[in-house]
Chains A and B, each alone.
Chain A
């Protein structure tokens, strides 16, 4: 315990002064203030001034006795809890004791008094008193408000701090319900008269108060802290907002600088800049002045429907800024203006007649000024300084990007120009407005000469460009011929549309190729082929025929030796002929491929011709050559080509089959195909040679066994090419020592199959060359097989009608025309009037691109064929 605390006071009340003195003496040496009174009355006077730790009260006193005094003490508020010890001279009975306790007497001391006991008892109360005193002082002096409430929720104690806190005197609170939430760590808000509301934090502890359970609540005024917290939060929020703004600005700039690196077009660059600015500020107009050595342009983007005078005003500001920033001074109209409207068309009326606020900044890189940029508003609200700074940053970015693009364009253009100029072909680039934006010297010179001669080059170029733009493949070719001095020259134009960055067509690239030499080579090759065949065949004809006529007995009978010699000459002439024919065929195949003109042909007629021509050869070798007659099946083939194939295969079989052998030709229909086989019982082909047998110049090694075979190694190659050209397949099966069978397939031409194949070709042709397709269907009165009808029809159609004709059954004819519908109708009129009497009806069918599939076309055509013709 601290030594500074005040001494506790005790009061001794006894009517006997000697006894009083004696009792007082007991407390000598103790740290007590001992007061004394000789009557109850005196005692009551004292207790009004002093708080006593304990009162020692003599029970038996004259006048007001101990009980009476105790009762009054108890009734006073100040002393109601002051402990009282009764002093009696003798033993008192039980009734008195309980009477005393009921008055709040805590103990009895009987005389003679045992000093130690009394001292001990008093010491307890004195301690208790001083502790309580301490506690009160603590409570009262505490800066936090302290309120004690009992279990009933009524207030027992309110300290001065709490009085202050509630702005009410303790007296008005004690004994009343507390009226606030209680608990630990609870915040309460106290509304106070005439003063600001206050926030207090409550901590609660369970305590014993005046002998009963109670709760002590300490109330801490946290109003200031709260205020600080709110201020702090506000400051924090503001900071965060600013950080977010800054991050947004940075990310806008980052996005801009990231995407700006990929932009290769000025307008994209400006668009990007405008959208970046739009992210950070509201504006009505953004403008860029971009000036290069060769040109200056201003691009104005308006986001609201501001009037043109405002646009002009912005241009003026841009130019003025440019001129004052040290740019090459230029006049008010020395630029091209592009206005981009970035607002919905239906958006209302012009917002204002003039700009109320703007920021304009030069675009410069290093020392070089390349333009100016403006952002402007017609509204009342100006931009903040931060927004203007940001705009300048964005303008900087755009400035560097423009500069980069300038140099890129320059180097790219130089490079492109170098490449294009060094190309042998002529190169043109035509933009979507039909202007030539790029051309190389070759193109210039070709077109210049052409223009001088015919004033038609534009036509050729325009034609190919238009075609390329119209075609789905975006690609077209055109050829023209022009005189170059005395020389005719051929040019080939090839146009390909070029797509810009956004996928739109930005123009057409045209390549002009001089194909005079190619054309000349083709002409030469063609005439060479023609003359070489003539020059080889003509003398051979003489050799063959003069030998033949001698062998036939012209000039008299021959001796056996003479005949033998002439036979050898004849045989070799045959070989030479075969060799020449094969060589010419191969040369032709390699030059142009095949020209196959297919018709419906009964396969039996092909077999008959082949067998007839080879029978003499078979008989000579005593080989049994026979054909199983096919049951009138027609095939859709080029008769001449297929005869050549079959002849070649039979001829081979005869060559490789020993005398007395057998060669058989069989046919068998398989779905849409006719399977033809030529089998022999000859020597067979070694297995390892089979895969190469159709190769060019390949000869089977066993060939010479039967003598005088000597093939050219071309026959099977040619056969294979021809069968393939008909959409068929050729293959061989062979067993060494037993024989060989060649198979090939050909498309069967039921009338329908033939017609289908024909129409399918027509559809392909029309789609491939992007031509219209119509089909003329004619039905004749009677079948006409002498070719006159065909000729009549052809004469009446003529090449200008762009026709291909199908119809060798000649009960009907189907003509595919690749011209517009009206011409097809005209052609039909010509036919009906030009071939009178024979045509039952002629109808033209037109097929739009969507309807152009072979099945649909066939269906339509079949419907138009007369019922008689459909059946076949």
Chain B
């Protein structure tokens, strides 16, 4: 299809989004990612029956945690699409990138930069 999507997206493959735990999402932000989204299969289409539904709940949980530590919950998101929806994937990555760009960089990076500047 020769579709392009933003080059700043880094893909981490998992066998099923049911494998994605809350800590994986939180760690990405702790390590400095500006945002992270989980791309699960369409609801009702999970090969393992409920992996994507579990992922959705975990994403919601992580968003709650972000809220309580004062970080924008929108930095973590859940999308559902099938393996055949390449156009939609490109669209989602652009949408997510744009959303994160509006939120700005992960504040822990700028805090670190300030510390380095002070040193």
* Binding partners A and B: no
* Chain B positions near chain A (C-beta within 8 angstroms): none
